[in-house]
């Protein structure tokens, strides 16, 4: 049951690498948008697992069930999670840029730091306990740094290449892409410093650091898959 986190700045190739690894190993890929979508489904009852094999449920429905169980056990957010996932939507929907803007302007975040960390940590740990998952960013490599068998991967690329990739992906001019990438970078570093006091691009926090401008993503995905299998065997005490 592989547990892989893939982190990286905008345009680093982290998302693409995570997708390739998930496809190669047959794992669920969980990113920010999927977490937001799952939170929105908390108020929508799905069929009982006893009546419908859980494997037939979509990823977002399964995540909503996981979130519902976590909130019920933790008695968090001061409301019945079946009434809706508004609190979780707030927690997961904030981009690094949006959070940084609020921090720099001295505004209070919608959810206080302690609750934000408690919920984010709890959900990421729940996902790790289930296994068979690739987690993209959101501090997953820090939250799960001591989680048995978890493999942490950092994607890197020169800023010029990251801007070019982002411009092509979003259909922006290079100047506008550079502006947005700079904002996202600042927000990402503020996010990690505020909640964990770490540099998100410090390779010491990862098992693997992949320079995606030098190594094709398909090759990088192969390397990650081999490393994940080796780490899993080591955890099971197999050679």
Which tens digits make up the pLDDT trace of 133-147? 999 998 999 999 999
Establish if 237 belongs to a structural domain.
no
Q: Which H/E stretch holds residue 7? A: strand 3-7
- pLDDT bin (cut points 50, 70, 90) of residue 106 is low
Establish if 103 belongs to a structural domain.
yes
Establish if 236 belongs to a structural domain.
no
Cβ-based neighbours of 105, under 8 Å, separated by 6 or more: none
Q: What is the pLDDT of residues 179-209, one digit of tens each?
A: 999 999 999 998 899 889 999 999 999 999 9
Q: What is the pLDDT of residues 40-90, one digit of tens each?
A: 776 544 333 333 344 445 777 778 778 777 777 766 545 444 344 456 676
Establish if 100 belongs to a structural domain.
yes
Write down the residue that tokens 């496809």 correspond to: 23
pLDDT for res 36: 81
Q: Which H/E stretch holds residue 135? A: strand 133-136
Closest to 124 measured CA to CA, from 98, 150, 99, 106: 150
Hey, what are 24's tokens?
């190669």
> Which CATH number do you get for residue 142?
3.40.50.300
Spatial contact of 162 and 172, defined as CB atoms under 8 Å apart: no
- Domain holding 168, by residue range, is 3-230
Establish if 238 belongs to a structural domain.
no
Three-point CA angle 18, 22, 28, nearest 5°: 110
What's the pTM value of the predicted model, to 2 decimals? 0.83
Q: How many CB atoms lie within 10 A of CB 32?
A: 15
Establish if 188 belongs to a structural domain.
yes
Mean pLDDT of 110-123: 78
Domain count, the chain: 1
Q: How many CB atoms lie within 10 A of CB 229?
A: 13
pLDDT for res 71: 74
pLDDT above 60 (res 158): yes
Establish if 239 belongs to a structural domain.
no
Establish if 162 belongs to a structural domain.
yes
pLDDT for res 194: 86
Closest to 120 measured CA to CA, from 35, 52, 49, 42: 35
């Amino acid at each position: 049951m592989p547990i892989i986190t893939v982190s990286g700045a905008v345009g680093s190739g982290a998302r693409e690498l995570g997708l390739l690894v998930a496809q190669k190993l047959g794992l669920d890929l969980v990113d920010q948008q999927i977490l937001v979508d799952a939170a929105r489904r908390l108020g929508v009852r799905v069929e009982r697992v006893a009546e419908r094999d859980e494997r037939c449920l979509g990823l977002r429905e399964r995540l909503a069930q996981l979130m519902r169980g976590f909130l019920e056990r933790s008695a968090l957010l001061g409301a019945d999670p079946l009434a809706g996932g508004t609190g979780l939507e707030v927690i997961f929907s904030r981009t690094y840029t949006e959070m940084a803007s609020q921090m720099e302007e001295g505004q209070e975040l919608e959810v206080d730091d302690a609750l934000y960390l408690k919920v984010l940590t709890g959900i990421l740990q729940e996902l790790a306990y289930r296994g068979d998952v690739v987690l993209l960013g959101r501090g997953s490599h820090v939250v799960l740094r001591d989680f048995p068998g978890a493999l942490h991967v950092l994607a890197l690329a020169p800023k010029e290449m990251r801007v070019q990739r982002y411009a092509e992906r979003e259909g922006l001019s290079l100047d506008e892409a550079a502006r947005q990438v700079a904002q996202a970078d600042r927000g990402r570093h503020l996010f990690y410093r505020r909640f964990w006091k770490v540099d998100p691009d410090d390779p010491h926090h990862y098992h693997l650091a992949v320079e995606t401008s030098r190594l094709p993503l398909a090759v990088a995905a192969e390397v990650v898959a081999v490393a994940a299998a080796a780490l899993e065997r080591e955890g099971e005490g197999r050679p």
